Structures are given as C-alpha cells and as structure tokens.
Structure 1
Amino acid sequence: MGEPVGANPPERHEVAHIQVPHDLLATTDLVASGVLRARGLRLRAGVALGRPLAFALPAAAGTLSTVDTTTLLLCFPFDLEEMPAGCGYRKIELAVTFDDEHLRALDLQPGPGWASPDGARVTAFGLGRNRLRWIFQAPHADGTLSPYGRWTQVVLTSPSPFTEWSGRIRVRGVVEHPLLSGTRSEGEIQTRDDVPFILSRADVWTGAPLTQQTPRPGAWALTRLEGADPPDDKLPPGRRHLCLAVDIEKYSTRGNVDMIRLQRGLLRVMRAACERAAVDWNACGRQAQGDGYLLVLPPDTDDTRVVPRLLAGLAEALAAVNGEQHGRTGPRSHVRTRMRAAFHHGIVHEADSGYAGSAVVELFRILDCDPLRALLADDESTDLAAAFTDQTYRDLVVQGYEGLSPVGFVRTEVRVKQFAGVAWIRSQRHVDSALHDHTGTP
C-alpha cells in the first residue's frame, strides 16, 4: 500500500486502485502526526477502504423495496495494512461524513458493547446525525488490533427520495512501536486527506427491479421470509438455467479473520467474473453459502459466449485478489484464495429458502467430488480447478466454441452420497483463461 511515513512525508498523495472492480474505494497511507512526526520515526501504515455497500430495506412486510426508498442500509468495510514486527494498532477511528445535512442515522453497528472476534472494544457516535464515528480499541493494555476484516454499518434515512448520496471517509488512530531503549511508546497516525465517495441508484442492492414488472431472483423466497405468502401455493416455476457454483479450498481450517477476508474475496471474484462475461449481476439468482456461492444465470443466457468468459473472469479475478493480498501481507500462503468451480445447465426451481432441483444437486455433487478436490490440492501452479457436468461438457467444450477446448480435461467418475455420474475436470490457469488464447490449452 503506502510508502513508509515519518516526520517529513512526501507532499504527494498516492491512492492505488485494485484491479478487481466494485470492491475497493481506495488505498491510502496513514501518516504520522504528533509525537511520531516530531521524533521523525518512520512507520509503514495504511488502510484499504472498501467501496460502500448499499442495500434497500423492505418498505413493509410482504413487499419489496426499491431505490426510491428514503432508507438504506450502508456498510463500510476496511482493512488496515499489516505493520512491521514489533508495531501494532492500538486504536482506530473510522469517521464518515455525509454531505447532505438532512440525512439521519437510525442505527449504528457495531454499537456500544459489541466486541469483534479479536476482542476489540467498540464505541459508536452519530445517531440522529449525518456525521458518524466508530472507534475500535485494543482489548488489553498490551494488546493490538488485528488489521483485517473491519466493517461498520448504518441505517440511514432522508426526508427526500434517494437519488445520490455523497460523503467523505477519514481514518486515524494510535499505533504502538518499540524504542531503542527497549521500551514501547504510542503515537498518532491519520489519513492525509479525506477519501470521497458517491452512492448512486446503480450501487444499491434492491429486493425488486426498478421496473417492478417481473419478480427479481430471490423474490419468491423473500416473500416467505417477510411473512407473506408467495403468489400462489403451486410449485414455483421451473426454468432451464446455466448454473455456476464455486467453493473455497480449506475454508474451515482458517481463523475467523481469514474467513472474513476469504468471503469478501469470493464476492469480489464472482462480481468481477460476471463483469468479464458481460453478465448482469442483478439479473442473476444468487445464493451465498459462506465458503461457496451459487449463481443462477438468466434463462436467455448465451452459454456459448458466457461460459468461456466466466472461466476467464474467475481466473483473472483470483489472480488479482491473490496478487493484491501478496502485496499487502507478503508471501503468506494461508491467505491465498483458491477455489473449485462447476458448471451445469438444467431445470431450477426457486424454493422458499434457495434454489432447488436435481440440476442444483448434481452441480454441487460434482463441485464436492474427491477428484476435483485432489486436482486443486495437487496442482500448486493454479488457484482454480474447473468441472463440467457430462452433458454441459458435450454441449460446449466438445463443440469447440471460442475460448473452450477439450485439451487438458480429464473424464472422471463421480460418486458422492447417492449421486453417481460423470464429470470433466481440469486446472484453469490465469494465462489459459485469457480469451486472447482461443485454443483453451492449459
């Protein structure tokens, strides 16, 4: 992230942007101030501010909200840069100021009394106002904060319909550092400038499309969750969909902070892959599963063009996420994101708590099969292992559509629980996934 900072920081203000879209607002240095600046002590510190996430809240039980609502739930994720050995963050304050003075905070999370997984004590300020602050404090006199997996959220309301909200984010804090005498001291750090942000209608995740003409993916399940009956008591419609399922390798072996980071990276990868394939993220059915994700694409999807581009997007986004993590934390293999992916095309029903149908079951059985897991585990040269169901492989790969080739695929028998079938698997390297290489050679 940032350059080492100290008594005489450079006048320039560098802000880097991650290659993966939609996720990062900015990365910026945390510069020394006060005692640290006076002593000329040089520390490497910085913060990566996630792009604010905006969600439209239900207008009433049994109805779905739109971005015309005056109330939104906003989430502000951020990660601190890992500091040199012997140094650590004692306290961090995230301040968010909205330019519209008529906005009011109805609820703040984390709130007073909340403790994060690393034990940090949290205080929050700004209820009823447009100026918000959260302070994360190390739990013990000799403790420091984990730099990763931080987030804040606010329920914000306005007397006028939502069109666009803008504001600024500032970060400051206290760091602990060793002295030559063998003792330890504390000093203040802060962002050089406030980081601006803008939220528009396109940024808001809603429960229904703007047109209000057709139910959005998830609408059937949402009506049940909100206490209303679905449109009727008949079987929900079953339509043929292209489905993509992914799963993170060795997720359950990670610590809490790494799990949060991996989930965040997973969402970034999925959205980046959709953008690479020109797939409308908001038109897809989506089912998050912690360490995995199910994407149900619209029925009119052109599989012949979308599948190779999704594969390319997954590989490219994984390379970007892992490259950014490597640059931030150094070569720490336990934060590397590696995943399995599987494609299938079949009839899918939108049930009360997710997507159902034999096609979904078959997809996840293949995603979980031992040969695909072994392929990823044994091939350290790639972060992605891909699988196709037998019919999907014959429809797309065998036909030689642009960006797909049988080269490198291995036929394997799949037996998971009561399921038995055939899948085609291969390692998917980043250089292989680029559509500039139409051969598909791994």
Structure 2
Amino acid sequence: MDADEPAPHEVPPGTVPHDLLATADLVTAGALSPRGRPPRAGVALGRPLAYTLPPAHTAGTTVLLCFPFDLEELPAGCGYRQVGLEVLFDDENLRALDLHPGAGWAGPDGARATASGIGGNRPRWTFRARHTGATLAPDGRWAQAVLASPVPLTEISGRVRVGGVIEHPLLSGTRAEGEVRTRDDVPFRLSRADIWTGAPLARPTPGPAALALAGLGEAGPPDDRLPPGRRHLCLAVDIERYSARGNADMIRAQRALLRVVRAACARAAVDWDACGRQAQGDGYLLVLPPDTDDTRAVPLLLAGLTEALATVNREPGTGIRMRAAFHHGIVHEGDSGYAGSAVVELFRVLDCDPLRTLLADDPSTDLVVAFPDRTYQDLVVHGYEGLSPAGFLRTDVRVKQFTGVAWIRAQRPVGRALSLSEEPVTSERPRSD
C-alpha cells in the first residue's frame, strides 16, 4: 500500500449532512499488477437506517438495517465491474434472518447481486455488471438485512468495508482490471434512539429505506422460519492421513489444500466470493452459487483440482493426497454451517471406505473423486465436455446410518499444469478461512 494513499475517515460532525456516515478512498488491494494501477476511486457511506420489526424472539429484538452507499465517479473510459459491501457487527448475538438484495436479484440496469451470511453476524453483498464489457452505474446503492437478537438491543455497532473491481484502459490500447478496497473498516454506532419504531414501517420515507422495506414486506419473520433453501452444487475435499501429521505439517497441509481449491475455482471461472465456504481443518466445503451451470463447472473444477494438486505436490515439503466429492441439492445456511440432506450425503460419500481404500491402494494418483448416484446419473453419464464416465466404479456406501450408492474414480493429471498464482474470480482480497 502506498503511504500517500489516504485512509477512510469518519466525517466530522456538523460539516456534512447528518445522513452521511463517512467518505472513504478505495485504494489498490495488494501488490500492484504489472499491467498498471486502477484510477483513484471512492465511496460515500450513508449512515445506516434502522427500523424495528415484530420480534423473532419474545424477549429479543428484530430490526431492519439499511446500508446506503454511493460510488465515486471514475474518469472517462473507466468503470466498476463489481463492488462488494460487508458489514461486521460487534454484537455476536445478532443473527441475519434475511438479506436483500439476494441471490438472483437484478437491477434496472441489468446488474446482478448475490448475498451471503444468513445465520451469522457478517452479511455481505456483491453487485456485478450484467456481462463482460459492461460496468456498474456509480449511482446510489443500498443493501439491507433483517437481524434478530435474543435480548433487547440498547445499541447496534459494527464496521463496514467496501471492495471492488475497476476496469481501466492501458497505454497499449488494451484494458485491465484492478482490485480496490477501503484500507480501513469504517465504524458505525446506532443508539436505541436512532432506531425507528411504529409508523415509519407503514409509510416509510421514499428512498433506499423505503425500497428495502417494499422488498421485504411489512411483516417480520416468524421465530421458527428456516433460512432460505436453494439448490446448489457442492464440492467437498479431505486430506488423507491428516491426523498422522505433526502440528507444523498440518498447517502446511491446510495451506496447500486451500491453494488447490482456490486454483481449481480459478480454472473453472467460479467466483470465490460468491461461494459459501466452510473450512474443516483437514477438509473444505464449497457451496457454489445457485445459478451455477453444473455441466460446465463440474468438469472444470475436477480438472482444476487434478492439475493444481499435481502442481503443489511437485513443491518440496507440501505433498498432500486427497479425496473429493461432488453433489447437488437443496442447501440451507444454518447458524453453525451448511445444512441439508444433500450436504449429509456428500460427506457420507466422501468418508466412505471404498473411496478411502481406492486412494490408499493406488500410489499412482494423489486424488480420487466420488459422485452420489443421483448426481452421477444427472451429469457424468451424459458425457458432457470434459466429464467422461470412463473409469468410474459403482460402490455401495454405508457410513453411520446412511446407505446409498456412489461412483468413484482415481484422477490423473492431463493437459496443462496449473499455476497456483492464478487468482480466483473475486471482488476483493480473500478472507482467511
């Protein structure tokens, strides 16, 4: 980061409109690309707007929070390819019950949005331009979350961060993309007196808050409402003989595993930030966005895993072998992880003895893959490009109370070597998982 790049700052009271929380510069994220620096950019963060809703818990509080923001105009020829807003609440008791815009939302300009974080206290939204070559209008945007606390709230506080991808021209006449982000998180704090009650819900003042309320409706969610269940493609991976490693080697293995999964996503052009991600020490669960084309993503992810694993295992001291499984079905984002019968079946297949034995008995491969029967019949048998049924073996799966059928195969690298310096499609520097 350059020393002359100013940090985000909270606006001094009395010098700007009361509804402006802060203005912040969007600075270059990470090392500069050799292809050039994106132009200076900025964001104006509106003061969060809060409204009470009927409580999800008898003794608790349910609120609707709106986060308006404006992107700074860019020089001619430059544009925002995407922008992400993340909120980190200080209160660990807060839980997001609903987010809007949500998955599949499309704006009037064709921009699309995704959201993640239901069940937690770190909601995140990403807005993307509608197609390659298009950019987002730097007009006012907003994101909103319905939050519940099991206890009465006296205040709501936290931090906001913004990141994005800017497309800009080069002297050569070509175009490049550069990542930007707020250098520091911007704090906010709302007292109980700042939270609107009663009448504003029925006739909110026009603006971002009104649009958010219109999208939600006026009724609060019941206390037994499930988080949204959507059909997702899921990938699970697990390292062989992880518990037999020493502490330092476990850390190296975890890092190698994450590099492999991220490189596979880059190979398949899967947006890392749009995926649900759940680290499990010796394994990893990836929940792809609901609009994913399974017929394209599965063969490319499988090829990416195979190639990236071969690459990482050529490096001294980082060798890992692993099992992988794909499945699709209805998935819920619960309070402590992803839930649904598809997730359970995915991990039962990943843990089954025949898949473990196949890896242990075949020293010529470092990766074996499994598909539950339903996913195998939906995808593999049809011979989609890059995904052949050749070499798959049918096997019975019996793990705990689960019984079923799976198809398993040893994978061997083919085609190009995959550089682990490739970055996944992402809107900002990745979080530590």
- Tell me the TM-score normalised to structure 1 length: 0.50
Q: In structure 2, what residue type is equivalent to 1:251? A: Y
> Which position in structure 1 is the counterpart of 2:4?
100
For residues 200-211 of structure 1, what are the structure 2 equivalents within 5 Å? 207=86
2:394 matches 1:403: no
2:165 matches 1:267: no
2:355 matches 1:372: yes
CA distance in 2: counterparts of 1:165 and 1:399, whole angstroms: 45
Provide, for residues 163-218 of structure 1, a one-character-per-residue CA deviation record: whole Å limited to 9, x for no partner: 1147889xxxxxxxxxxxxxxxxxxxxxxxxx9x999999998647xx97327554
2:253 matches 1:253: no
2:291 matches 1:300: yes
CA distance in 1: counterparts of 2:383 and 2:416, whole angstroms: 15
Structure 1 contact 277–306 (Cα < 8 Å) conserved: yes
Q: In structure 1, what residue type is equivalent to 2:406? A: A
Cα drift, residue 433 of structure 1: 9.3
CA distance in 2: counterparts of 1:400 and 1:375, whole angstroms: 23
SS of alignment partner, residue 245 of structure 1: strand
SS of alignment partner, residue 365 of structure 2: coil
> Which position in structure 2 is the counterpart of 1:280?
271
Aligned pair partner of 2:231 in 240, 244, 254: 240
CA distance in 2: counterparts of 1:206 and 1:296, whole angstroms: 20
Structure 2 contact 327–346 (Cα < 8 Å) conserved: yes
> Which position in structure 2 is the counterpart of 1:220?
118
Note closer, same or farther for the CA distance 1:336–1:198 as it changes in structure 2 (3 Å cut). Answer: farther
> Which position in structure 2 is the counterpart of 1:347?
330
Cα drift, residue 265 of structure 1: 1.3
Note closer, same or farther for the CA distance 1:166–1:274 as it changes in structure 2 (3 Å cut). Answer: closer
For residues 10-409 of structure 1, what are the structure 2 equivalents within 5 Å? 98-100=2-4, 161-165=24-28, 207=86, 213-214=101-102, 218-223=116-121, 228-229=147-148, 232=221, 233=223, 234-323=225-314, 325-326=315-316, 329=317, 335-409=318-392
Give the superposed CA RMSD.
3.6
Structure 2 contact 308–417 (Cα < 8 Å) conserved: no
Cα drift, residue 99 of structure 1: 2.4
Q: In structure 2, what residue type is equivalent to 1:164? A: V
2:407 matches 1:424: yes
> Which position in structure 1 is the counterpart of 2:208?
none
Cα drift, residue 258 of structure 1: 1.1
Note closer, same or farther for the CA distance 1:167–1:303 as it changes in structure 2 (3 Å cut). Answer: closer
Q: In structure 2, what residue type is equivalent to 1:322? A: N
In the alignment, structure 1 segments of 5+ residues that lack a partner are 1-96, 105-158, 170-194, 330-334, 436-442
Provide, for residues 378-413 of structure 1, a one-character-per-residue CA deviation record: whole Å limited to 9, x for no partner: 111111100001011111111111111111100000
Note closer, same or farther for the CA distance 1:250–1:167 as it changes in structure 2 (3 Å cut). Answer: closer
Q: Which has the higher contact order (CA 8 A, sep 6+)?
A: 2
Q: In structure 1, what residue type is equivalent to 2:366? A: D
Note closer, same or farther for the CA distance 1:342–1:98 as it changes in structure 2 (3 Å cut). Answer: same
CA distance in 2: counterparts of 1:203 and 1:382, whole angstroms: 39
Structure 2 contact 370–408 (Cα < 8 Å) conserved: yes
Q: In structure 2, what residue type is equivalent to 1:420? A: T
- Tell me the TM-score normalised to structure 2 length: 0.51
Note closer, same or farther for the CA distance 1:418–1:217 as it changes in structure 2 (3 Å cut). Answer: farther
CA distance in 2: counterparts of 1:337 and 1:418, whole angstroms: 30
SS of alignment partner, residue 430 of structure 1: coil
SS of alignment partner, residue 119 of structure 2: helix
Cα drift, residue 431 of structure 1: 1.8
Aligned residues: 250
Structure 1 contact 397–405 (Cα < 8 Å) conserved: yes
Structure 2 contact 332–339 (Cα < 8 Å) conserved: yes
Cα drift, residue 306 of structure 1: 0.9
Structure 1 contact 98–168 (Cα < 8 Å) conserved: no
Q: In structure 2, what residue type is equivalent to 1:163? A: L
SS of alignment partner, residue 405 of structure 1: coil
CA distance in 2: counterparts of 1:365 and 1:275, whole angstroms: 27
CA distance in 1: counterparts of 2:415 and 2:395, whole angstroms: 21
CA distance in 2: counterparts of 1:206 and 1:281, whole angstroms: 15
Structure 2 contact 311–417 (Cα < 8 Å) conserved: no
> Which position in structure 1 is the counterpart of 2:61?
none
Provide, for residues 317-367 of structure 1, a one-character-per-residue CA deviation record: whole Å limited to 9, x for no partner: 1111112x22xx5xxxxx411111001111111111111011100000000
SS of alignment partner, residue 304 of structure 1: helix
CA distance in 1: counterparts of 2:351 and 2:235, whole angstroms: 13
Cα drift, residue 222 of structure 1: 1.9
CA distance in 2: counterparts of 1:168 and 1:274, whole angstroms: 21
CA distance in 2: counterparts of 1:308 and 1:168, whole angstroms: 32
CA distance in 2: counterparts of 1:362 and 1:292, whole angstroms: 16
CA distance in 2: counterparts of 1:345 and 1:236, whole angstroms: 18
Provide, for residues 290-319 of structure 1, a one-character-per-residue CA deviation record: whole Å limited to 9, x for no partner: 111111111111111110000000011111
Cα drift, residue 248 of structure 1: 0.9
Cα drift, residue 250 of structure 1: 1.0
CA distance in 2: counterparts of 1:391 and 1:369, whole angstroms: 17
